[in-house]
Amino acid sequence: MELSLIKRFEKEFDDRFTTDERIIEEKSKAPYLVSPILSKMGKKALGVLFVKDEEDILNILKLCDEYRIPLVPRGAGTSTIGQVLPIYPSIILDMNNMKEVIEIDDKWVKVTPSVKVLRALDYLRRRGKELRVYPSSFYISTLGGYIAGGDVGIGSFQYGYQFDNNGVNYVKVLGVTGKYTLNGKDALAVAQAAGTTGVITEAELAIIDYEDWKDQLIRLNDLEEVVKVLKKLGEFRSKVRRITVEDYEALSLVGKDRVDKVGKWNVIVASTLSFGEEVNLRFLDELAFAAIYVTMSKLTKFKDYFYEVRLLSLDSFLRVVKQVKEALGSNVLIHGDVMTLRGEIIIYTVFISDKSNFEIIDSIMLKEGIPFEIHSIEVNDRVDEEYRLELMKKYKRIMDPHNILNPGKLRL
């Protein structure tokens, strides 16, 4: 970036704007990004703005739009799918210094984007409440990053996507063209959009009464039994907070010295009801959703570590995983997060192995006609509902006509 332009940014924002090499290097990275494909796409940031308030955001939007400089909003940087990775030389908009607001009534919690999920949960639980759905990375992530990066997590078996079924009252965002408040379904233009449709400044999210969930382990011998158990648990959805499925290889690796006995297949349930052996699985969050990529990248002995994800119905899960395990046995690890999407039980299924084995895995997927692309920087390849994508595209055109907000992440 030209020196004269740097001077203009420094004049506008004082010491909140920096081109310090150490800070730029830190903010140009996505530390939890383990995809060997996406991690090669990052570019060096041009500068970093530590946002103080909405005025800072509006001013940086105006300046960056004037000079067509890409702008990437960033919270705690915990995304595993490249959300905060600048793929063009960009200004990083660090949101962590914004004023924190947490206010509740019986149904909603109002928050600002810099609020850590853990802080919000602590606040709510002291008042007998908790977030309806929240990310497995709750101990390190921010709510702004969670909203922009995805809306599944703990509670998704009960409620599905956080933003579906009246999970959000409104989201306030700032775009190049002004301030917007998106209510109800329109808020889906922001959820999972990676900051491409506007910079989140406030939201009201659904809350529920807190209950003392107990982690339980059900050990099983085959996949048919797993599917039967999941169907049975579906009859008690309101009393089941979360479910994960682990094969022997995955659970024994993470649960080494922490689980007395591991089954060939394992269903881990958090519920107020009794379904299996009550266990103290303090490491459970290391297995949930995207945390599994990071955890296994550190623990597995695969020489060329790789993973893929598919959203599978129960029948597809049974067919696909059975074929994959028959072909690869212990050379592939299987993890599943069980969710309810559009009234159907869906398993967010993670396949972990050496990269060379994915020709076999992908051929099975192709035969079953199951698309999904986790190793894509673009939102379009991860959002599974067309109307949500259309909303994102609509508001992208309205709020960011010159495509400066996290460009390259949303195909129009």
The residue ranges of every structural domain in the chain are 3-94, 102-210+379-399, 214-368
- Structural fold of domain 102-210+379-399: 3.30.465
SS3 call for 88: coil
Nearest to 157 by CA among 213, 117, 116: 213
**pLDDT score, position 81:** 80
> Helix, strand, coil: what percent of the chain each, to 5?
35, 25, 40
Q: Which residues contact 279 (CB under 8 A, 6 or more apart)?
A: 215, 216, 217, 259
Q: What pLDDT score was predicted for residue 58?
A: 97
Q: For position 193, what pLDDT does the model report?
A: 93
What pLDDT was estimated at residue 205?
95
Q: Give me the pLDDT at residue 288, please.
A: 67
Contact between 242 and 155 under an 8 Å Cβ cutoff? The reply is: yes
Q: Enter the pTM of the model.
A: 0.89
pLDDT, tens digit (0-9, with 9 covering 90-100), for 24-82: 999 999 887 777 788 888 999 999 999 999 999 999 999 999 999 999 999 988 887 88
Q: Which residue is it, tokens 């006995």? A: 261
- Give residues with Cβ within 8 angstroms of 319, minimum separation 6: 368
pLDDT band at 180 (very low <50, low <70, confident <90, very high): very high
pLDDT tens digits, 301-322: 999 999 898 989 999 999 999 9
Topology of the domain comprising 3-94:
3.30.43
Q: Give the other-Cβ count within 10 Å of 127's Cβ.
A: 11
Contact 319, 369 (CB under 8 A): no
Radius of gyration of the chain (CA): 21
Give the Cα separation of 72 and 92 in Å (integer): 5
What is the three-class DSSP state of 195?
coil
Two tokens, residue 359: 């020709």
With beta carbons less than 8 A apart as the criterion, state whether 114 and 99 touch. yes
Overall average pLDDT of the 284-293 stretch:
70
For residue range 163-174, what is the model confidence (pLDDT) as tens digits? Answer: 777 888 999 999
Are the C-beta atoms of 332 and 325 separated by less than 8 Å?
yes
> What is the predicted pLDDT for the residue at 175?
97
Contact status, residue 145 vs residue 154, Cβ threshold 8 Å:
no
Architecture of domain 214-368: 3-Layer(aba) Sandwich (3.40)
Compute the average pLDDT of residues 121-128: 96
Contacts of 134 (CB under 8 A, 6+ apart): 117, 121, 146, 153, 154, 155, 162
Residue 110 CA to residue 235 CA, distance in Å, equals 32
Mean pLDDT of the chain: 91
Please tell me the predicted confidence (pLDDT) of residue 296: 84
pLDDT digits (tens, 9 = 90+) for 335-389: 999 999 888 999 999 999 999 999 999 999 989 888 766 778 899 887 878 899 9
Q: CA distances (Å), 107 to each of 26, 129, 169, 294, 401, in order? A: 38, 9, 9, 34, 35
Task: Give the mean model confidence (pLDDT) for residues 403-408.
Answer: 97
Percent of the chain with pLDDT over 70: 97
How would residue 283 be classed by pLDDT, with cut points 50, 70 and 90? Answer: low
